[in-house]
Amino acid sequence: MSLSWQWAEPTWRGHVDRVRAGTSLRPAEWPNGARVAVALSFDSDHETIPLRDAETQPGKLSQGEYGARVGAKRILDLLHRRNIPASFFMPAVSALLHPEEARSYVEAGHEVGIHGWIHERNMQLAPSDERELAFRSAETLERVTGQRPVGVRTPSWDFSDATLDIIRELGLLYDSSLMADDEPYELLANGEPTGVIEIPVEWILDDAPLFDPRGNSYSPPREVARVWMDEFDKALEEGTMFVLTMHPHISGHRSRIVALEQLLAHVDSVAKGKVWFATHGEAAEYVRRMAKLGDPKPRLAIAK
Ligand SMILES: [Zn+2]
């Protein structure tokens, strides 16, 4: 293992330049005169979190089962009542365990995106394994839902040295796993534009770290909602984008769906209709068009 303080300049520059934020893609205006874009996303991991770690005990699996049995339905119901489109990132194994649920997302007008095979840790995989699982995941989601995914959120937002190459080989429109901005941007690979759009995420805007009652960082959902509202208010003020990541097995609980309900009520009261709710795919397609970016540029197949 090399020591970072001994690296020559090309080495540390090379690491930073491998995957980097390029041009900001904030459009001059959002559709329908909206001041801000809101993209809600739900990672329907369900049982794949324990399965990923080969934890097969029924007790562990039941926590994920709640996400499918209760959480996803509660979330779909809320989105339906509010007429809000959203993106659901679903590991392929989760889609195979719950095919009706995966189809119900698409039937309700939502987007289904790639989220790994079994929520694998891609940074621990050989590039050829990561690639094979990504392709198998895309094909599985298409077979189950009838809709070819156009975007990916890597499991746990892990991004290996091979991930961007795989995204390009899959010909995806966007990724939603990186954190270099509050608004969409184009991904650069070794300084070169790729045409792949990043819809950035942040741990601040995720339900997972703060809602674990057994963790060290538990926050009451109503307090978390306050943080999300502050994030939204700045996004509105700056005319940018608000991207939220939630999980049916987490936010689908009764005391936690309150955070999303409070956020949506707040959005209504401050944005007064000047908000564009979009799936990640719709938002990526819109900013791509406005920036006249052209189609994502597929690169040659990576070494198998
Ligand atoms: Zn996940």
pLDDT, residue 189, reads 97
Q: What is the pLDDT of residues 207-232, one digit of tens each?
A: 987 776 666 778 889 999 999 999 99
3-state secondary structure of 23: strand
Q: Rounded to 5 degrees, what angle do the CA atoms 102, 103, 108 make? A: 105
Task: Say if residues 189 and 166 touch (Cβ distance below 8 Å).
Answer: no
Strand-strand pairing, 36-43 and 241-246: parallel
Distance from the alpha carbon of residue 116 to the mean position of ligand 1, in angstroms: 8
Task: Read off the pTM.
Answer: 0.95
Task: Say if residues 44 and 67 touch (Cβ distance below 8 Å).
Answer: yes
pLDDT, residue 208, reads 86
Strand-strand pairing, 174-175 and 151-152: parallel
List alpha helices for 154-279, DSSP H: 163-169, 221-238, 248-251, 254-271
Distance from the alpha carbon of residue 51 to the mean position of ligand 1, in angstroms: 12
Rounded Cα gap, residues 19 and 163, in angstroms: 10
Interhelix angle 72-82/99-107, rounded to 10 degrees, is: 10
In the chain, the percentage of residues whose pLDDT exceeds 90 is 90
Residue type, 205: L
Residues of the chain with pLDDT under 50: 302-304
Give ion ligand 1 contacts, CB < 5 A: 43, 45
Distance from the alpha carbon of residue 287 to the mean position of ligand 1, in angstroms: 25
Based on DSSP, count helices (H) and strands (E) in the chain, helices before strands: 12, 10
Identify the DSSP state of 216: T
Q: Which two tokens stand for residue 107?
A: 């039937």
Residue written as token pair 């020559």: 8
Distance from the alpha carbon of residue 43 to the mean position of ligand 1, in angstroms: 5
pLDDT, residue 303, reads 42
Cα of 155 vs its chain's centroid, Å: 9
Rounded Cα gap, residues 110 and 5, in angstroms: 47
Interhelix angle 254-271/72-82, rounded to 10 degrees, is: 20
Distance from the alpha carbon of residue 90 to the mean position of ligand 1, in angstroms: 8
Q: Terminal CA-to-CA distance of the chain, rounded, Å?
A: 25
User: Which residues does 89 contact at the CB level (< 8 Å), separation at least 6?
Assistant: 41, 42, 43, 44, 112, 113, 114, 115, 152, 153, 176
Residue 225, number of CB atoms within 10 A of its CB: 21
Length of the chain: 304
Task: Say if residues 251 and 41 touch (Cβ distance below 8 Å).
Answer: no
Q: Rounded to 5 degrees, what angle do the CA atoms 257, 280, 118 make? A: 75
Distance from the alpha carbon of residue 48 to the mean position of ligand 1, in angstroms: 8
Task: Say if residues 150 and 185 touch (Cβ distance below 8 Å).
Answer: no
pLDDT, residue 213, reads 66
